[in-house]
């Protein structure tokens, strides 16, 4: 996912949004959730080797009908609102803009397809991992994202999610 300083390009420039998102995904640094210090954050390698991948059934049981909050470098990066039925999600960027996606699972990857909203291209894939009782999202090449919380807070698109 893009860095907290990222501000999405206007909807009229989906290619620019994708380029920024992909560049930031590769460069983003991650901190542990708010209740842990940055020194406590596991490395990408630790998550991959020591963490336990969640199955799609486990993930859906945790997130179905709920909202997942992600942090990068201790800052709210965005939120995802999952439908009660599997396969659909709304992602909200830090500025409040929302994008719809479908998701699927090909072990061990949860892949999110935003279609033309991000200029087309391949889906964005992540492993959902439990490490030391904390949940993480680990992309194929970027840094880990801490999952700060999962709750029933609804998304209000167009409104800053940090408030």
Residues 6+ apart with CB under 8 A from 1: 21, 24, 25, 28, 70, 72, 77, 78, 137, 139, 142, 145
pLDDT band at 72 (very low <50, low <70, confident <90, very high): confident
DSSP character for 134? Answer: E
**Tens-digit pLDDT profile for residues 18-37:** 334 433 333 332 233 333 33
Query: Does residue 69 sit in helix, strand or coil?
Result: strand
Residue carrying the six token digits 């904390």: 134
- Find out whether 145 and 31 touch, Cβ atoms under 8 Å: no
pLDDT at residue 79 is higher than 70: yes
Q: Give me the pLDDT at residue 159, please.
A: 77
pLDDT at 38 > cutoff 70: no
**Around Cβ 12, how many Cβ atoms within 10 Å?**
6
Indicate yes or no: pTM above 0.75.
no
Please identify which residue in the block is written with the tokens 């560049």. 23
pLDDT at site 42: 87
- Of 71-75, 90-94, 99-103, where does mean pLDDT reach its minimum? 71-75
Residue 156 backbone zone (phi > 0: left; psi -120 to 50: alpha; other: beta): beta
User: What's the confidence (pLDDT) of residue 11?
Assistant: 38
Give the pLDDT confidence score for residue 155 in this predicted structure. 93
CA distance 13 to 136: 30
């Amino acid at each position: 996912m893009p860095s907290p300083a990222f501000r999405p390009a206007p909807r009229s420039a989906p290619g620019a949004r994708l380029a920024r998102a992909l560049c930031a995904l590769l460069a983003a640094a991650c901190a542990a959730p708010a209740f842990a210090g940055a020194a406590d954050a596991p490395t990408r390698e630790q998550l991959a080797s020591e963490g336990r991948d969640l199955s799609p059934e486990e993930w859906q049981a945790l997130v179905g009908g709920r909202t997942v909050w992600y942090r990068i470098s201790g800052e709210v990066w965005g939120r995802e609102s999952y439908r009660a039925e599997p396969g659909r999600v709304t992602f909200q960027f830090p500025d409040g803009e929302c994008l719809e996606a479908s998701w699927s699972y090909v072990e061990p990857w949860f892949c999110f397809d935003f279609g033309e909203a991000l200029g087309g291209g391949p889906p964005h894939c992540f492993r959902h991992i439990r490490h030391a009782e904390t949940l993480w999202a680990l992309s194929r090449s970027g840094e880990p994202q801490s999952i700060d919380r999962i709750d029933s807070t609804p998304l209000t698109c167009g409104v800053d999610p940090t408030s």
